Amino acid sequence: MVHIITGDIHSGKSTRFLNLYSQGNREVGLYAKKLYAPDQTIAGYNLVLLPIMDEIPFICLKESVASHGDYYMQGRFAFWKEAFKKGEDYILGSPSEKAVWIDEVGGLELKGLGFDFLLRTLIDSHRDVTFTVRTSLLKSILDRYNITEYILL
């Protein structure tokens, strides 16, 4: 079954994601942990592998990247391609009976990038998956992955 946590930007999707995840049975997941600059603005994100809590550099500000070849550029952020691969390998290498949690699916996936392959593989295999998505992208995500049966959380 597909479970979706949706909301607007800065609406608490990731907080809700972590709260719901912590109530589960040690499923596997990928969480985007915010990193803050000294002025408390968001400086980037690490990808946290759940439940083992390993952290991988994931997203940084676009202006801090010298070469764009290893990154997907979107908005003001640069997404490290290798982090997506490591996250994908972690999830696909986990036992297939484990539910999967992904924070967050969005614009990159709609372009066929980011966790697109991972999400498509999980949905096609009918594995239980929970993910976050912005409300404004929900319909496009449902259409892209042909999701017709889901529960909004």
**pLDDT tens string 5-43:** 999 988 999 999 999 999 987 799 999 999 999 999 999
Instruction: Map out the domains of the chain as residue ranges.
Output: 2-35+45-56+80-152
**pLDDT tens string 65-112:** 987 889 999 999 999 999 999 999 999 999 999 999 999 999 999 999
CATH class given for the domain over 2-35+45-56+80-152: alpha beta
Share of the chain above pLDDT 90, in %: 92
Cα separation of 33 and 139, whole Å? 25
Instruction: Report the Cα 19 to chain-centroid distance in Å.
Output: 16
**pLDDT tens string 131-140:** 999 999 999 9
Average pLDDT, the chain: 95
**pLDDT tens string 108-127:** 999 999 999 999 999 999 99
Cα separation of 39 and 33, whole Å? 17
